[in-house]
C-alpha cells in the first residue's frame, strides 16, 4: 500500500472549541428542545399544580396557599361529582358506540371497490368540521318543535322527543352527536389497520374453513386489529373526556345539571367565577385521569402486538 499524501500546513478543523471540552456535546444539541418542552409544557403544568394549592382568583393581588383545601372541596362538591358521573356516562356511550360503529363501517367500506374513497370522505367530513358550528346545526335538527327529526317522529305518529330538555335523554343526545363526530376518524384508523392485515391470512383462513363473515371477523380480522382497537379506544376515550363544545353551545350543562361535564365545570369555575385555584385543582384531577388512560394504553398495547 502506498502512503497517502500528507499536508503539513492543513490540520483537521476542531469539532469542539477548547473551553467546551469535557462537556458531552450531545447535551448541548438537546438543550434547545429540552428548553422548549420545559417552557411550553412542563412549566405551565407546574404553575397549575402550584395554583391548585392556592386560593388565587384571576386578577387578585393577594393570595395564599391553602394546602389541599381545593381538593377537599372538590371531593365534597356535589356538582363536581355530578359532572364526573355525567362525563363517565358520556364517555362510556361515545367510546363503545364510536369504536364498534367505526369498525363496522371500516369493514363495510373496505369491502367496496371504487366507492371506497367517496365513503371515506363522507364519513370523515364531521371530523374535519367545527363542532361548535355543527353543534348549532344539531340543536336545530333535534329541536323539539321545529327540528326535522322530531317532524319525522311526529309524521310517523309517535310522540315528539324533547332531546335537550329532558334530563334523562339530554346526555344521550349529546353522546349521539359525539359518536357522529368521532366515528369517521375511528373508521379511518380501522381502515388503515385492515389494510395492514396480510391477504395470506384470509386465504389460509379460507382453506381452514373460516370463510364466513363472522368466522373471518372473530378469527382473523378482530384479533388482527387488536393494536388498532386499543389505540382507537384510547384516543376516543381522551376525545370523549374532553367534551365541551356541544355542552357549551347546546345545553349549557342543563337541564338540571344533567349534561354538566368536567370541562364545562372547569370553564365555569375559571372564566365565569374566576376561581382560578379551584379550577386548577379540577385541571390537575383531569390531567391525572388522562395520564391514567394513557398508561392503560401503554400496558394494554403490550398484550396485543404480535410481532
Partner 1 sequence: MTGSAVRISKIAKGYGASRVLRDIDLAVDAGEFMTIVGPSGCGKSTLLKILAGLDQPDGGSIEIGGESVNQLRPSQRNIAMVFQSYALYPHMRVRDNLAMPLIMADLPFVARMPVIGPLVPGMSAKRRQISSTVRDVSKSLGIEALLERKPSELSGGQRQRVALGRAMVRQPGVFLMDEPLSNLDAALRTQVRTELVQLQKRLNATFLYVTHDQVEAMTMSDRIAVMMDGRIVQVATPAEIYAAPADIRVARFIGSPPINILPANIGEAGIVGLLGESQNLRTALRAGEKAQVGIRPADVTVAAHTRARGASSSHEGRLLHTENLGNEIILHLTLAGDRQVPFTARLPQREWATIQASGGNPNLVQVGLPAERFLVFNAAGRLIPSKGVQVSKRLEAVS
Q: How far is the CB of 106 from partner 1 (least distance, A)?
A: 18
What's the closest the beta carbon of residue 98 comes to partner 1, in angstroms?
21
Letters for 214-233 (x = contact with partner 1 by CB under 8 A, - = none) are: xx--xxx--xx-x-------
- Least Å distance, CB 38 to partner 1, is 39
d(CA 89, CA 174): 11
Size of the site for partner 1 (CB under 8 A): 24
Please, what's the largest Cα pairwise distance for the chain? Answer: 100
What distance in Å separates the CA atoms of residue 195 and residue 198, rounded to the nearest whole number? 8
Comparing CB distances to partner 1, the nearer of 126 and 226 is 226
Which C-beta is closer to partner 1: that of 205 or that of 296?
205
Dihedral of the CA atoms 122, 124, 125, 126 (nearest 10)?
A: 120
Chain centre distance of CA 266: 17
Which of 25, 204, 256, 291 is the binder for partner 1 (CB under 8 A)?
204
Residues sharing a CB contact under 8 Å with residue 50, sequence separation 6 or more, in sequence order? none
Cα of 169 vs its chain's centroid, Å: 23
Nearest residue to 233 via CA among 288, 304, 286, 287: 304
* CB-based contact 182:98 (threshold 8 Å): yes
Report how far Cα 56 is from the mean position of its chain's Cα atoms.
Answer: 30
Question: At closest approach, how far in Å is the CB of 204 from partner 1?
Answer: 4
Among 47, 118, 140, 208, binds partner 1 (CB under 8 A): 208
| Of residues 147, 171, 173, the one with CA closest to residue 160 | 147
> Which of the residues 247 through 306 are near partner 1 (CB under 8 A)?
304, 306
Closest contact distance (angstroms) between CB of 229 and partner 1 is 12
- Shortest Cβ distance from residue 228 to partner 1 (Å)? 13
Is 209 among the residues that bind partner 1 (CB under 8 A)?
yes
Site of interaction with partner 1 (CB under 8 A) = 198, 200-201, 203-212, 214-215, 218-220, 223-224, 226, 304, 306-307
Amino acid at each position: 500500500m502506498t502512503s497517502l499524501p500528507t499536508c503539513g500546513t492543513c490540520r483537521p478543523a476542531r469539532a469542539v472549541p477548547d473551553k467546551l471540552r469535557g462537556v458531552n456535546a450531545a447535551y448541548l444539541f438537546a438543550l434547545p428542545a429540552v428548553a422548549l418542552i420545559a417552557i411550553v409544557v412542563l412549566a405551565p403544568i407546574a404553575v397549575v399544580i402550584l395554583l391548585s394549592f392556592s386560593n388565587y382568583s384571576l386578577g387578585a393581588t393577594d393570595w395564599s396557599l391553602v394546602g389541599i383545601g381545593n381538593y377537599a372541596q372538590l371531593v365534597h362538591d356535589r356538582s363536581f361529582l355530578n359532572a364526573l358521573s355525567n362525563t363517565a356516562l358520556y364517555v362510556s356511550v361515545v367510546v363503545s358506540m364510536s369504536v364498534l360503529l367505526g369498525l363496522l363501517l371500516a369493514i363495510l367500506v373496505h369491502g367496496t371497490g371504487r366507492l371506497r374513497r367517496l365513503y371515506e370522505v363522507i364519513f370523515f367530513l364531521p371530523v374535519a368540521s367545527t363542532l361548535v358550528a355543527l353543534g348549532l346545526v344539531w340543536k336545530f335538527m333535534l329541536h323539539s318543535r321545529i327540528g326535522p327529526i322530531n317532524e319525522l317522529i311526529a309524521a310517523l305518529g309517535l310522540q315528539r322527543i324533547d332531546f335537550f330538555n329532558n334530563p334523562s335523554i339530554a346526555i344521550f343526545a349529546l353522546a349521539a352527536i359525539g359518536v357522529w363526530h368521532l366515528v369517521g376518524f375511528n373508521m379511518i384508523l380501522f381502515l388503515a389497520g385492515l389494510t395492514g392485515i396480510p391477504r395470506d391470512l384470509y386465504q389460509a383462513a379460507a382453506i381452514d374453513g373460516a370463510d364466513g363473515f363472522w368466522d373471518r371477523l372473530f378469527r382473523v380480522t378482530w384479533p388482527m386489529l387488536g393494536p388498532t382497537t386499543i389505540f382507537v379506544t384510547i384516543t376516543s376515550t381522551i376525545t370523549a373526556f374532553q367534551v365541551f363544545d356541544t355542552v357549551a353551545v347546546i345545553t349549557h350543562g342543563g337541564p338540571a345539571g344533567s349534561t354538566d361535564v368536567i370541562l364545562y365545570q372547569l370553564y365555569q369555575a375559571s372564566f365565569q367565577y374566576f376561581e382560578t385555584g379551584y379550577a386548577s385543582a379540577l385541571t390537575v384531577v383531569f390531567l391525572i385521569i388522562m395520564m391514567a388512560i394513557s398508561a392503560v394504553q401503554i400496558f394494554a398495547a403490550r398484550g396485543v402486538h404480535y410481532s
